[in-house]
């Protein structure tokens, strides 16, 4: 399998796919090319699975009309505020703002000033996945990291969050 190798002063070998499906391997300066090749070979199935996901998402994105995007934005602006309010009350937090964005690589974010942003793309997923993202971002008001304490806060509100999180790794539904 072809890949682009990036050498850095680090301890581990990692692999990612660029948006075009090409493989990028980042490796420590001291690791041999033979070991890197072996690492890539052992992850061939993962690479193919990720490439299929990229193709599915690209096809799905290409099918989105301006009207469909506008409808998803309206849906986000209508459905997210009540969810945010309900879960914020449970968590005892107060976000400072709310915005719908066109982010393509993340479903939600929480700023250092506790303002929440959600991508309209999130609205293509099942309600339980949407609820998970809302809880996830609200928990960042309590913990601005992904520490064990952060995930404990998520689990207190949503014990099945891992199952819900997996829904976000599937191709979005076509309502």
Q: What is the pLDDT of residues 113-144, one digit of tens each?
A: 999 999 999 999 999 999 999 999 999 999 99
The pLDDT assigned to 175 comes to: 54
Q: Burial, 117: exposed, middle or buried (Cβ in 10 Å; 0-12, 13-18, 19+)? A: middle
Residue 134 to residues 19, 124, 165: CA-CA distances in angstroms? 26, 14, 11
Torsion of CA 7, 36, 166, 150, to 10 degrees: -50
The pLDDT assigned to 173 comes to: 67
The SS3 call for residue 111 is coil
The SS3 call for residue 33 is helix
C-alpha span between 32 and 23 (Å, rounded): 18
- Can you tell me which residue has the tokens 């690479």? 47
Q: Which residues of the chain have pLDDT under 70?
A: 173-175
Q: Which two tokens stand for residue 102?
A: 């066109």
The pLDDT assigned to 164 comes to: 96
Residue 93: which of 150, 26, 173 has the closest Cα? 150
The pLDDT assigned to 97 comes to: 96
The pLDDT assigned to 172 comes to: 76
Angle of CA points 60, 62, 66, to nearest 5°: 105
């Amino acid at each position: 399998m072809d890949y682009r190798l990036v050498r850095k002063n680090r301890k581990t070998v990692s692999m990612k796919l660029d948006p075009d499906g090409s493989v990028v391997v980042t490796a420590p300066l001291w690791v041999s090319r033979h070991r890197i090749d072996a690492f890539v070979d052992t992850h061939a199935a993962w690479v193919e699975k990720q490439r299929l996901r990229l193709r599915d998402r690209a096809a799905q994105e290409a099918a989105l009309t301006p009207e469909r995007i506008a409808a998803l934005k309206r849906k986000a602006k209508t459905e997210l505020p009540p969810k945010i309010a309900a879960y914020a009350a449970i968590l005892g937090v107060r976000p400072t703002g709310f915005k719908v964005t066109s982010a393509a690589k993340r479903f939600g974010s929480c700023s250092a000033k506790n303002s929440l942003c959600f991508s309209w793309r999130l609205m293509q997923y099942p309600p339980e996945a949407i609820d998970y993202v809302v809880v996830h971002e609200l928990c960042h008001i309590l913990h601005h990291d992904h520490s064990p304490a952060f995930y404990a806060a998520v689990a207190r509100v949503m014990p099945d969050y891992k199952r819900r999180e997996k829904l976000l790794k599937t191709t979005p539904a076509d309502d």
